[in-house]
Structure 1
Amino acid sequence: MNFNIIGYLIYLGITTFIILKVGKICYKNGNIYVADLIPNHVDICQRINHVLLLAYYLLNIGYCAMTLISWQKIISSTQVIETICIKTAVIIFIISILHYLNILIITKYIQKLINNNKN
């Protein structure tokens, strides 16, 4: 039995679910958040939020796929669980950092975006 293949499938299933679920929640709430920051500019809000969602998906799914090459040979079921937990924790940490960076960047540069759009 190849534990690496089993671990890959479980890891990709868990992380894909987490990435898609968090992305959907952030996109839904992001529309409200950005619309509050940029009132009367619904089109800009939706474009900003859509770009953030696309970048979020590409970065996180790409990272998950790339981490598969760094896995050591797994020889026991205990090691499968440990590896999946560590790798999943890393992707959740990355998602949280990206979320807060996006909020910081949007909040800090929103007026600059509005002024550039008026010109």
Structure 2
Amino acid sequence: MDLTVVAYITYLLISVGLTVWVARTLSRNGRIFIADVLQGDEKLADAVNHLLVVGFYLVNLGFVTLYLRSAEAVADARGLFEALSVKLGVVLLVLGVMHLLNVWVLNKFRRRGVLERQQTPPVPPQGWTAPAGAWRP
């Protein structure tokens, strides 16, 4: 079997495995954060979490497949390791950037929600009270 094909197969197996592992980890641990962002609405948090995971899979697996092609044929074991290290390194960087981007966007939503909750009065106004004395300039 050609070493370039071995590099492709190894790259796909590792990249897809890493993408699935990162997506599951983010989904499991990010659910609590999303529920806080959405002010405790568990059903909406689950839906948003699922949509984020689907988007994460689509973007990352799309990138992995687009980045599969190699410009040069792999001639020996050293070339195989070098090609894999470059490709997997880029995939890991893209996974990290996607994770940081998701956390940054969710944190922006969370901060806005916290500010909105702080601006809301704890008790709605009960009525209006007239001033005690007449005003004199």
Q: Shorter-chain TM-score: what band? A: 0.7 to 0.9
Residue in 1 that maps onto 2:134? none
Residue in 1 that maps onto 2:41? 41
CA RMSD of aligned residues (A): 1.6
Cα gap change, 1:49/1:81 in structure 2, threshold over 3 Å: closer, same or farther?
same
How much has 1:54 moved relative to structure 2?
0.5
Residue in 2 that maps onto 1:68? 68
Counterpart secondary structure, 2:75: coil
Residue in 1 that maps onto 2:105? 105
How much has 1:69 moved relative to structure 2?
2.1
Please list every run of 5 or more consecutive structure 2 residues that lacks an aligned counterpart in the other structure.
117-137
Amino acid at match of 2:20: L
**C-alpha separation in 1, matches of 2:43 and 2:65:** 33
How much has 1:71 moved relative to structure 2?
3.8
**C-alpha separation in 2, matches of 1:36 and 1:109:** 10
Amino acid at match of 1:14: I
Pair 1:23-2:23 in alignment: yes
- Return the index of the structure with the highest Cα Rg: 2
- What TM-score comes out, normalization by structure 2 length? 0.76
How much has 1:73 moved relative to structure 2?
1.2
**C-alpha separation in 2, matches of 1:55 and 1:19:** 12
Listed one character per residue, the Cα deviations across residues 35-81 of structure 1 (whole Å, up to 9, x for unaligned) are 12223311221121111100111111111111122442111111011
- What TM-score comes out, normalization by structure 1 length? 0.86
**Identity of paired residues, percent?**
24
More helix by share: 1
Q: Which runs of 4 or more aligned residues in structure 1 lie more than 6 Å from their structure 2 counterparts after TM superposition?
A: none
Number of residue-to-residue matches in the alignment: 113
- Compare relative contact order (CA 8 Å, sep 6+) and give the higher one, 1 or 2: 1
